[in-house]
Structure formats: C-alpha cells, structure tokens
Structure 1
C-alpha cells in the first residue's frame, strides 16, 4: 500500500484531534488543529496548498488542498454529517492536479470518517 506508514500516522493525528475537539467546529479549526498535531509528530505539513488546473497546457484555474503532508499525501478535511461522492471526487481531482498519488478524506462529522484514495498518475 502506497504511503501506508505516513497515512497511518496522519489518521492517528486525525483521531487525536477528533477525540480532543469532538464534533461541531468549522473545517478551518480542524485544519489548524491537525497541522499542530502533525507538527508534534515531526511531520511537515503545508496548509492551503495551491493547485493550478491545466487544460491543454494552459492554466485555467486554481484551488487549494487543505493540507499536504511531507510533500506526499493530500489531506482534505470535511465537517459534514457524512462524506459524499462529491467529496471523494474533489480529492481525486486534487490528486490528478498535483501528480500526487495518495490522499486522505477526513470527516470531523458526528461520527469520524476516513477514506484513503490512491490515484495512479502514470496514466
């Protein structure tokens, strides 16, 4: 499994934050808390990582992934009742747009949810 050790560490941080803060805050609060927790574990994290979308070699838009950990794993944070297909599509588009292959979708909803996605960018 690609980046298993790193994703396991990120998921551990997610549960630490979830168990400490619980449910009900805005995504930004969880993003900031997760960055702090990742740093405590010695992991390098960039918040609001910019992604430029290209179309036929031309930039056509820019958006931001919530967190990029160790320049390898994109973390998308939600604070919703449940994860939706649209959330997974967003994460897959982030992976396509960056050339990164592993992403985590973390939901700080009423019940914690984690989805790990891999996208093979070699195709």
Structure 2
C-alpha cells in the first residue's frame, strides 16, 4: 500500500475516533482508539515504537517513541493540546529523518473540528 493510501485511511479513522470520543481526552486514549480503527481497516499498526538515534557512529536509545507506525510506512504523532506548537512539527520531522520514512501525520484531537488540525509532513530525504 502506498503512503498516500495509508494517509487516507489514517484520516478516515481519525475522523471516526474524534466523532465518537470528542475532544478533551488523553493522547493515550486517542492512540488506542485510532490503532483499533486502523487495524479494523486491515492495516498493520505498531504502537509506541522505539526509535534509536545514531551519534558518533553509535546507535543510542534516546527515548524517542513513535505513537503509531502504520504499515511500516507512515508515522502518526497524536496530540491532545490547546494549540499545536512549532516543536510538535519539528518532533515529527525528526522522527521521519531518524527513521528514513517519507510521510508522517500530526493529529491534534483536542479540538472542536478535526479537519484543520491534521497535518501531513513529508521528509525531504
């Protein structure tokens, strides 16, 4: 499955989760529900995937964790905050660079209308 097709499924599942649960819950709640919906759609979903970094030629565990990795191709970073900050976008871009993956989705569930709060980020590689 291509990254764009996976991204479409992520968006569709996120709308379903947000419609059912609404805003104001913990990120972990949205993570579990979104993973469930994506699995129901037939996608392989990994949660809290450790992401090491390489420094001075040595692989190090730096505490990075991907909220969701969908089909081994798309990183989904989930937030439940008043407003997304620049650091949230940079965090996802860092994950994309460290993983070598092309596409990420940043989703803030703590909003009244989800559409404007889902962002696709592309790793320029």
What TM-score, normalized to structure 2? Answer: 0.91
Aligned partners of 2:104, 2:56: CA distance in 1, in Å?
25
Aligned to 1:70: 71
Shift of 1:59: 2.6
* Structure 2 residues not aligned, in runs of 5+: none
Kindly report which structure 2 residues correspond to 1:17-56, keeping only aligned pairs within 5 A, or say none.
17-56=17-56
Q: Contact (CA 8 Å) 1:53, 1:62: kept in 2 or not?
A: no
- Residue 103 of structure 2 is aligned to residue 99 of structure 1: no
Aligned partners of 1:107, 1:47: CA distance in 2, in Å?
17
Aligned to 1:9: 9
What TM-score, normalized to structure 1? Answer: 0.93
Shift of 1:120: 2.4
Aligned to 2:121: 117
Shift of 1:84: 1.1
Aligned to 1:80: 81
Flag as ranges the 4+ runs of structure 1 deviating above 3 A: none
Give 3-state SS (helix, strand or coil) of 1:110's partner: coil
Aligned partners of 1:55, 1:27: CA distance in 2, in Å?
30
Aligned to 1:59: 59
